[in-house]
Amino acid sequence: MDKEERNSMRVDEIPFQWNTVRSSKTYEEDKRLDASFYSYDIVKARILIEELKRVGIGVKRLGDDFLSAKIFWPGRFKRKYVSRKEGKPFLMPSEVFMFLPRARKFITDFPKEVLIEKEWILITRSGTIGRCIISNELLSKFVVSDDLIRIIPSDKNLVGYVYAYLNTWVGQTFLKKTKYGVTVKHIEPQHVESIPIPIIPQIEKEVNEKILKAHKLLEEAQELLLKAVGTIYAELGLPQIDEGEIEYFGGKRGKSAKVFITKFSELSLRLDASFHKPILSLLRKILREKENNGKYKLQELGSISEIFTPPRFKRFYVKDHSKGIPLLQGAHIPMIKPLDIKYLWKDMKNINAYVLNKNWILVTCSGTLGRVGLVRDYWAGWAATNHITRIISKDINPGYLTAYLQSAYGQYQLESLSYGGVVEEIGEAGELIKNILIPVPTNNELEEKIGNLVMQAYDKKDQANRIEEEAMRLLEDNLKQK
């Protein structure tokens, strides 16, 4: 492969990468001896930045006062976990990027430095490095993991532009080039500070406005989804439930081990403790008692929907997107936007068995279980793996069903169905999911109201992602042309 041929290829298409580096360069570049630090994509990004400078484009460091007031991470701290009533909700990095972030842990006595404010840029600093998000009102209510680097912008009119650039291939290359570590990779604030940011006046305002518009739409979408779930509790008379409030044997010691008993007659041929958690007994008791108020009728999920999971299949991926169909994986379902999308060959045998239709409900049934999403126009026509169960609603609003399954009442029931050792499963045929109890409102208008809120939320999320993609393409196209 000659140099010209290699230069015409995308980085991910190159079968292997090689490069030569002068020994003096290692002293100039933080004395780094790891090959990835000098990889071809790094060289390509640096050449691009130099070309931009030559044609008169101003290039700033992200750490310059012009762009940021402060770039930092709060440092590791000892986490003291407590109940929901005693502490503040805590989010791990992966949970920050969820469409509906939901804290599974609550902490107290944490340093103030871990708190965030609106319109900061947050960047993952360990594990999966370089994922970025602009914080909003919802995120500011949580304590956010120290594994996220915080960027406090000095100019709010450049927040969207900087965010967009950090998500381009150039920005991602500079973010990831300085990672270090063997088992778990890391980056530090000083690495982020050194990233060069080209300021292109002709598109700066347009890119910034598009990103901020997408950011606003996403915030509105999250508010709609929260309102939908909240309306279910309020209108159906269901109290909030939390496993942290369940009493276990042995006081605090028993609570940490979650020691409880169950009747032999209630085993249902299941000997795994997760299937018999006390929270499930409480949940079912509440649902049956509250049914007497006449606001809903309890039905099993299998009686109001069609449930199926396609069989395992051999995947044939293509790099040419025109010859493929985007593939949703389990990790994509709860996220604000799916990242690292792969494409299945569209002429693959039985491909239609994996293609999604609008208003299908998706539930992850392997690995991290019970993540729920709703297919709207954006995902319709995509494919999804066999690790995602499909639910097709019958005579019930799919938006309402989505909101309920995302509530604590739905989540506890889904999680209780898991089985397996290393990798947890729910079951490919959907046989276990069909028994989940669903309170179907007797007031059809209430059901439609809640369902429509959810569908609007997913539509706004999809619209936000489209606008963000437009801003990214605009910026990347202008970087190429300069």
Model confidence at 428, in pLDDT bands (50, 70, 90)? low
Q: How far apart are the first and last CA of the chain?
A: 27
Q: How far apart are CA 179 and CA 182, in angstroms?
A: 10
Q: At residue 284, does pLDDT exceed 70? A: yes
Q: What is the mean pLDDT of residues 209-227?
A: 97
What pLDDT, on the 0 to 100 scale, is given for residue 342? 95
Rg of the chain (C-alpha set): 25
What pLDDT, on the 0 to 100 scale, is given for residue 11? 47
On whether the CB atoms of residues 89 and 143 are closer than 8 A, the answer is yes
Query: How many CB atoms are located within 10 Å of the residue 104 CB?
Result: 12
What pLDDT, on the 0 to 100 scale, is given for residue 321? 92
Q: What is the mean pLDDT of residues 312-341?
A: 93
Instruction: List, for residues 336-376, the tens digit of each pLDDT value.
Output: 999 889 999 999 999 999 999 999 999 999 888 899 999 99
Query: How many CB atoms are located within 10 Å of the residue 479 CB?
Result: 22
For residue 368, give Cα distances in angstroms to 117, 279, 329, 436. Answer: 29, 20, 11, 18
Q: What is the mean pLDDT of residues 172-192?
A: 79
% the chain with pLDDT above 90? 65
Indicate the domain borders of the chain: 226-461
What pLDDT, on the 0 to 100 scale, is given for residue 1? 47
Instruction: List, for residues 291-305, the tens digit of each pLDDT value.
Output: 999 999 999 999 999
Q: What is the mean pLDDT of residues 325-342?
A: 94
Residue 192 CB-half CA count within 13 A: 28
CATH of 226-461, one of 1.10.1740.110, 3.40.50.720, 3.90.220.20, 1.10.357.10: 3.90.220.20
Q: At residue 441, does pLDDT exceed 60? A: yes
Q: What is the mean pLDDT of residues 177-196?
A: 80
| Region of poorest pLDDT, from 30-39, 175-184, 277-286, 411-420 | 30-39
Q: At residue 7, does pLDDT exceed 60? A: no
What pLDDT, on the 0 to 100 scale, is given for residue 218? 97
